[in-house]
Amino acid sequence: MNPEPIGPDIELQPAKPSTAGMTTKVVKGTIWTLSGLSIPIFFSLFATPIVTRLLGAEGYGLFILILLIPAYLSFADFGMNIASTKFGSAAFAEGSPEKEAKIVRTAALIALLSSLPFAAAMAIFSPTIARVANVPPDRMIEASFALKLAAIVFVINFLNFVFNTPQLTRLRMDLNILVFSGVRIIGIIATPIVVYYGGGVTGAVGVALAVSIITLAGHIIVSSRLLPELIGFSIDRASVRPLLKFGGSLVVAGIAAVLLHHLEKFVLTKATSVETLGYYSIAATFAAMLTLLSGSIVQSLMPAFSQLQSREDGPALNALFSRGIRLTLVWLIPAVTFMVLVGWPFFTYWFSADFGRESTGPYYIIIAGLFLNVLAYFPYAALMAAGRSEIFAKLYWIELVPYILLVWWLASSFGAKGAAAAWSIRVIIDAIVLFYLGNRVANVSYRQANIGYSLLAAFLMSLPIIGLIYFGTLNLPIIITAFVCAAAYALICLKKILHADEVRWFLAKVLKRDAG
């Protein structure tokens, strides 16, 4: 007897899954993922100012630092979060649920064995880590204990990103997001409550621990419903070598990547203070909202690209790649404009005048880098799906030494603005290189049609930013100009930039939710 499906009209174990309607599945998965990432941010907009006021800038900076330190060891799962998705997707495309289940269990075991030594070291040497991170002496005990809790979160989160694989391979982003974001929202709400009643930084990290444990339980339950074979103890010995080979390259890349992605924060703390890190982190967090949609798309694209590449369907792969970038450019340009306009008022009136003064400059600089960084998600996903993880190992290590020198100079000389500038310069160069490698290695490329109209549309959306620079502050004429330019921009996109079939497809497949 076949197990009952979790959702309507969804077969849990198709013999040979079809790639028909892949674009529709990716878009629907993207919408779910975007919603699941956006709703927690909505709650964070209310919770974070409360937490910053309760902890103070220094306490909030310490909280961010404690959660950031495990991020420096994000390679410690031996790349199994991505490897399980890639190889699990290939097994799913072959119609082999037993193999898929064994791959997930094998990846989970590798991630566990690989991450435990790092977690143990983090817990044992937590006082030393706190001293190296320039934590104030009166907060050393609190920071040390919180780091021990963060070490546990560190391991459990790795398992979360492996046991959600059956949801990703089936593009069931709805289920993945319901588990991940549902529990996360509860954690966001609980954090200021715990801090208010005296939990402090330790209590806030304790909430993160509870969230990670509940999330893992949810992923195991949901994934085992989609893939009943998941419950078991055997592993796929034949997959160990490919998983380790793929993941090994990610480890080599990851050691450099954690420095590339987070070095400016650590240098900023050493060169200035934990308080400055708090200002910078708020700016970086709000700016990162730009990556939500592309990050959501990539979570669906990774298994989709893997399935298309395993079937050697090059035209469908390139069509999906190009459509994703085209649609991303359409929303990205006005999104950047409006995020620039609301930056200073948001930091000033939602947080405080200090945040408005200290966070706005770094925020604008990070936004500039993120424009290209958002687009780089697409060649990144194509290269990973092609199994070419070693490319990132070479690329990141080549970038590392020049970036260390750049970030140390700029952050030491110009504080938070310098750290933001160093980060943006690196990601812009990185994006250019990834698009080149995507074309040469993964055979994916994008060319902008109607370039004249595209430039005109982009110019229109730049006018409000030019007005902001001229007047020095947001005012009513700039707001009116922004909405008028947005209306003209939308008209140009609909008539000259988007393909007619894309407009019809969007209305039919997304708004009406027709089958793909």
Mean pLDDT, rounded, for 196-210: 88
Chain center to CA of 327: 19
User: For residue 310, what pLDDT band results from cuts at 50, 70 and 90?
Assistant: low
| Window from 89-98, 143-152, 288-297, 456-465 with minimum mean pLDDT | 288-297
Does residue 6 surpass a pLDDT of 60? no
| Window from 73-87, 152-166, 227-241, 283-297 with minimum mean pLDDT | 283-297
Mean pLDDT, rounded, for 6-31: 51
Q: Higher-confidence residue: 306 or 471?
A: 471
| Window from 57-61, 148-152, 197-201, 451-455 with minimum mean pLDDT | 57-61
pLDDT score for 394 = 87
pLDDT score for 23 = 60
Mean pLDDT, rounded, for 14-35: 59
Interatomic CA distance for residues 500 and 129, integer angstroms: 57
Does residue 9 surpass a pLDDT of 70? no
For the chain, the average pLDDT equals: 82
Q: What is the pLDDT of residues 325-364, one digit of tens each?
A: 887 888 888 999 999 998 888 888 888 888 888 888 899 9
pLDDT score for 502 = 62
pLDDT score for 514 = 44
Mean pLDDT, rounded, for 131-137: 77
Does residue 127 surpass a pLDDT of 80? yes
Q: Higher-confidence residue: 241 or 273?
A: 241
User: For residue 515, what pLDDT band results from cuts at 50, 70 and 90?
Assistant: very low
Mean pLDDT, rounded, for 222-249: 90
Interatomic CA distance for residues 288 and 284, integer angstroms: 6
Cβ pair 273, 416 in contact under 8 A: no
The string of DSSP letters for 357-392 reads HHHHHHHHHHHHHHHHHHHTHHHHHHHHHTT-THHH
Look at the pTM and tell me if it is higher than 0.75: no
Q: What is the pLDDT of residues 375-426, one digit of tens each?
A: 888 898 888 888 787 888 888 899 888 988 898 899 888 888 998 999 999 9
Residue with tokens 């490698």: 437
Sign of torsion over alpha carbons 449, 454, 456, 457: positive
Interatomic CA distance for residues 34 and 291, integer angstroms: 10
Q: Higher-confidence residue: 302 or 371?
A: 371
Q: What percent of the chain has pLDDT over 70?
A: 86
